[in-house]
Structure 1
Amino acid sequence: MTAAIANDCIEHADDPFACADMLIAYSPVIGEYGLIVHDGGASTVTIRHCPWCGAKLAESQRERWFDELEALGFDDPLSQDIPQEYRSAAWRSKKEA
């Protein structure tokens, strides 16, 4: 999967969603893989298994991310100014340690 999420496209280096050759997106914040929907936006369809070999992918941390932010008082974290650690995978490392 590492090779599938690597964006080697010079023309679309800053936006993998604009490149028709990019098929898989990965969100390090929530540890989630998705198939890119090439509709002009940044939509994905979440996947739980590798589309090439069928191996189970790591469990998404989406629900945990929302739950932890809700516990901190953020009811709409996508539009609120959330703590910096929750903008990267840092929150997962800290909590899993």
Structure 2
Amino acid sequence: MINQTYNLAMKTMDSYPSTQKPKLKSYLRSKLELSSPEANGLVNEYRAIKDACYKLATEVFSKELSGSLFETEIFSQYPRLEKGLKADWVNESMMAQFR
């Protein structure tokens, strides 16, 4: 899958209000007309990235945090993910710590 489709899938899932795997998978399949295995793989990656962002934000919240830590700890494993999504998810993860 090319990077553009990959990032479109990530943005599509990010716009959906639920993070439950079956709902995300169904939504992604209907929006992008993907096969079940394709959608399943993308949903698994999306959830892994988001979970890792929240976990890292929680671990380092009391310390000075830089986006480069997210890059080395999480995003280096997902090289196809575009920069804008990375920044959005770092900010979202950090803001969740205030709630």
TM range (shorter): 0.3 to 0.5
The structure number with the bigger radius of gyration is 1
Which fold has the larger relative contact order, with Cα–Cα distance below 8 Å and residues 6 or more apart in sequence?
A: 2
**Structure number having the greater helix percentage:** 2
TM-score of the pair, normalised by structure 2: 0.37
**Structure number having the greater strand percentage:** 1
